[in-house]
Amino acid sequence: MVSPTSHEAKSTGIRERLGELCYNTGLLNPLQKMRAWWQKDLRILAYHRVMPVPDPERYPFDMELISTSPEEFREQMLLVKERYRPMRLTDVAAAINAGQALPPDAVVITFDDGYDDNYRIVYPILKELGVPATFFISTGHIDSGRPYAYDWLVHMILLTNANRLELPELNMDEPMPATRAERRALAIRVLGNMKEISALTQAAMIRRLETAWNMPSDHAYPADCRPMNWDQLREMRAAGLEIGSHGVNHWMLSKLPREELEREVYDSRNALLRELGPMALLMSYPVGSNRAFDREVIEVTRDAGFDLACSYISGTNLQPASNRYSLYRIAVERYYGKAWFAALLALPGLIGYPTPAHLAYTDTSCSH
């Protein structure tokens, strides 16, 4: 989750300008080639939703989940196809297991959560271009069709008639702002604060608001926040795309008692195998920051038979064998232009934010 103010600050940042300069002067391609001589790292791109970017004043859900528009996504995949080696994550796992080096400029495309635009918009583009990808889904939402809880929380804060936001769980009690932009900023703060408390308390807090504000998520299935269904996922898998686990309920795994942690990992695994058949097991930890998974989460994931696991911590993977259960990714945000995206992919260490300060930023900002 990134605040609108930090978008603006970042969109005029020196890294973006440097990226555009490299792109516009034609330096990017030679720089990418030079970098590949000494930096042979695995890049994994992380997306959530791909859809036409709506007007934030009218759109009643979380804008921060929109990674890019369909047109830009197609351009991005064309670039990946032309200048990199797109790989399936299971092939990455197989290479690691065999002790083989990955091809230079290997890129993996991943999606988190399992929104139905992944099927409607992303899947046809990937099929057309022949680019592989992995979709990490929260299996409980695929089963039920219910909206994702964080997105629903944003939705409730944007639309509620309540005068105050009272969240004793987060020590928050303040008047509900009037404008939608202010409410979006408030929702971002709430989501950030929530990451400190247990996953079960988070879930109970959202359910309490649903009751108090009379906005139940289990009676409403708006098209704007719909998960995919198993039939769609079966079709995508038959076409060569990969499906992995993003938990059952999208709960932060490190914030759960052991029994619930095991249930999230094992039940999501069993749902994938039951619905989709035998497969290499891949995981993306919900939220994925360094507070969302820990040693115990990694051990449970490994013991359940998962082959690899992705975090949401920014970076590339120099030796993926050494962090195969905490792979770094490069998040794609909707405000990246063509040049910025190309530069971010070509020179991730320079154009991205791999510094300790950025890791701290990632920790508090990413939310899915």
The number of beta carbons lying within 10 Å of the beta carbon of residue 71 is 11
CB of 115 to Zn ion, least distance (A): 10
CB of 325 to Zn ion, least distance (A): 17
CB of 195 to Zn ion, least distance (A): 12
Among 64, 113, 242, 363, binds Zn ion (CB under 5 A): 113
d(CA 151, CA 65): 8
Question: Contact at 8 Å (CB) between 125 and 76?
Answer: no
Options 1-9, 200-208, 282-290, 333-341: segment touching Zn ion (CB under 5 A): 282-290
CB of 286 to Zn ion, least distance (A): 5
Options 159-167, 170-178, 230-238, 281-289: segment touching Zn ion (CB under 5 A): 281-289
Residue 115 or 340 having the CB closest to Zn ion: 115
Exposed / middle / buried, residue 135 (Cβ in 10 Å: 0-12, 13-18, 19+):
buried
Residue 255 binds to Zn ion (criterion: CB under 5 A): no
- Residue identified by tokens 């079966």 is 234
Residue 62 or 112 having the CB closest to Zn ion: 112
Among 16, 20, 112, 151, binds Zn ion (CB under 5 A): 112
Residue 368 binds to Zn ion (criterion: CB under 5 A): yes
CB of 111 to Zn ion, least distance (A): 10
Residue nearest to Zn ion (CB): 368
Residue 286 or 348 having the CB closest to Zn ion: 286
Options 4-12, 15-23, 112-120, 202-210: segment touching Zn ion (CB under 5 A): 112-120
Long-range contacts of 121-126 (CB under 8 A, 24+ apart): 121/50, 121/51, 121/70, 121/73, 122/47, 122/50, 122/73, 123/232, 123/235, 123/236, 123/239, 123/241, 125/70, 125/73, 125/74, 125/77, 126/77, 126/241
Structure token pair of residue 60:
């009643």
d(CA 361, CA 171): 22
Residue 88 or 368 having the CB closest to Zn ion: 368
CB of 41 to Zn ion, least distance (A): 24
Structure token pair of residue 351:
């154009």
Question: Contact at 8 Å (CB) between 267 and 309?
Answer: no
Options 14-22, 51-59, 285-293, 349-357: segment touching Zn ion (CB under 5 A): 285-293
d(CA 343, CA 19): 5
**Residues 6 or more apart in contact with residue 156 via CB below 8 angstroms:** 209, 210, 213, 215
CB of 235 to Zn ion, least distance (A): 22
Q: How many residues bind Zn ion (CB under 5 A)?
A: 4
Residue 195 binds to Zn ion (criterion: CB under 5 A): no
Structure token pair of residue 73:
């996504």
d(CA 195, CA 78): 36
Options 4-12, 53-61, 230-238, 283-291: segment touching Zn ion (CB under 5 A): 283-291
Residue 137 or 186 having the CB closest to Zn ion: 137
Exposed / middle / buried, residue 65 (Cβ in 10 Å: 0-12, 13-18, 19+):
buried
The number of beta carbons lying within 10 Å of the beta carbon of residue 144 is 13
Options 34-42, 90-98, 164-172, 284-292: segment touching Zn ion (CB under 5 A): 284-292
Residue 309 or 347 having the CB closest to Zn ion: 309
Binding-site ranges for Zn ion (CB under 5 A)? 112-113, 286, 368
